[in-house]
Amino acid sequence: MATENNNDGINNLIEKEINSNDKIFKPDFSQKTGRELLAFYLQTKFKQALAYDKRAEKSVIVDIKSDFISRFTKRLINTPQKRILIGITGESASGKSTICNEITNFISRFNQPVAIVRTDNYFNDISDLIKKYGSFDALRDNGYDIDSPKNFQLDIMRNDLEAIARGEDIDIPRYLLNGTGVSVPKSMHIKSDKIIIVEGVATMYEPIQDIFDIKIFVEADEEIRKERFMSRAVNARNQDLENAQKHWEYVLDAGKKYIIPSRDNMDIILNGDCNLPYFTQILEYLYTITNNFQQPANND
């Protein structure tokens, strides 16, 4: 019932915005003064959305950097032609892929161009090591630290993200998820769309994290994460319970070493256990306030 009330409440806000008589005329985005006017308007509206979400029983936004909104709008004012790079990270089974997919689906609904880059495709090729030890699980059990930053092609990822931010299409590696550990260079073509979402555990590793316009950290309670992880491992990936438990213990430790330390540098912390319809409505509200302008009078 409380979730339904949250959804009804945000729907009312959306309707109020659409029907409001207190709207600004659409600024001229080609002029800096027009972009500055929009930035001031959006800062006010974003703060209203944050205040509403804070009162919800299960908020979507756990925390947000105090200077993020002003910093991001300033970036839009000064370099409007640059692609918007959104980085999403979080521990295993935190809900980051679900949040990423929800954002992507929402953006696509409004015919806005969006590209997705998954950082798991930048894992090093470890096919020789898997052949040596006999299996991926045996390699892990012999101490291979899978999620360590040194086991990703971070230099290539950095170069690719810089290129796609400039508007260049890129061809990224494809890491095969069939247990062979094979990485195929330059085998996935990614178009440089206006909005680019980069998702995965390696998103906020040191050589990468400063490239993003919006840095999002998704978190969820450890018990919720474990339940998701074990269910996915056993039911979707056909792992036996003992091996799934071993791998859970590994990712728990890896998360503490490599992912949690980046949390303090994030712009936005999202609740990975939020109600997805409510999360989508928050996105819809933000879209509405960004695109809901007063129409010029018809003088005909």
Is 245 contained in some domain?
yes
pLDDT of residue 225: 97
Kindly calculate the radius of gyration of the chain based on its CA atoms and give it in whole angstroms: 21
Q: Is the CA virtual torsion 254, 257, 258, 264 positive or negative?
A: positive
pLDDT band at 1 (very low <50, low <70, confident <90, very high): very low
Spatial separation of the C-alpha atoms in residues 231 and 214, rounded to whole Å: 31
- Dihedral through CA 203, CA 206, CA 210, CA 212, nearest 10? 0
Is the Cβ–Cβ distance between 76 and 35 less than 8 Å? yes
**Tens digit of each residue's pLDDT (9 = 90 or more) over 190-240:** 999 999 999 999 999 988 999 999 999 999 999 999 999 999 998 888 889
Residue 65 located in a structural domain: yes
- Looking at the predicted structure, is the pLDDT value of residue 157 above 90? yes
Cβ partners under 8 Å of residue 107, min gap 6: 114, 195
Domain hosting residue 190, numbered range? 61-273
User: Residue 270 and residue 220: Cα distance in Å, rounded?
Assistant: 9
User: Does one domain contain both 183 and 219?
Assistant: yes
Alpha carbon 180 to chain centroid, angstroms: 28
33-48 per-residue burial string, b: 16 or more CB within 10 A, e: under 16: eebebbbebbeebbee
How far is Cα 271 from Cα 221, in angstroms, rounded to an integer? 9
- Indicate if the pLDDT at residue 292 is higher than 70: no
What's the start-to-end Cα distance of the chain, in Å? Answer: 50
Q: How far apart are CA 27 and CA 21, in angstroms?
A: 17
Joined tokens for residue 290:
């960004």
234 shares a domain with 177: yes
Instruction: State pLDDT tens for residues 81-129.
Output: 889 999 999 999 999 999 999 999 988 888 878 999 999 999 999 999 9
CB 199 within 8 A of CB 215: no
**pLDDT tens digits, 11-35:** 777 787 777 776 667 777 788 888 8
pLDDT above 50: residue 2: no
Examine the domain organization and report whether 166 and 196 are in the same domain: yes
Give the angle subtended at the CA of 235 by the CAs of 234 and 240, to the nearest 5°: 25
The share of the chain scoring above pLDDT 70, in percent, equals: 92
Q: Measured between alpha carbons, how far is 204 from 216 in angstroms, rounded to an integer?
A: 9
Q: For the chain, what is the mean pLDDT?
A: 88
Q: Are residues 43 and 69 in the same domain?
A: no
For 167, 218, 274, the CA distances from 269, given in Å and listed in that order, are: 28, 6, 12
DSSP class of residue 59? Answer: -
Euclidean distance between CA atoms 214 and 71, whole angstroms: 10
**Both 56 and 81 in a single domain?**
no
User: Residue 228 maps to which CATH number?
Assistant: 3.40.50.300
Whether 192 is covered by a domain: the verdict is: yes
**How many domains does the structure of the chain reveal?**
2
Whether residues 28 and 135 share a domain: the answer is no
Identify the pLDDT of residue 47: 83
The amino acid present at 191, given as its one-letter code, is K
For residue range 207-219, list pLDDT tens digits in order: 899 999 999 999 9
Give the separation between CA 231 and CA 220, rounded to whole angstroms.
16
What region, left, alpha or beta, does residue 174 occupy, with left being phi > 0 and alpha being psi -120 to 50 degrees?
Answer: beta
**Domain assignment present for 156:** yes
Tokens 């030890």 locate to 133
Residue 299 falls inside a structural domain? no
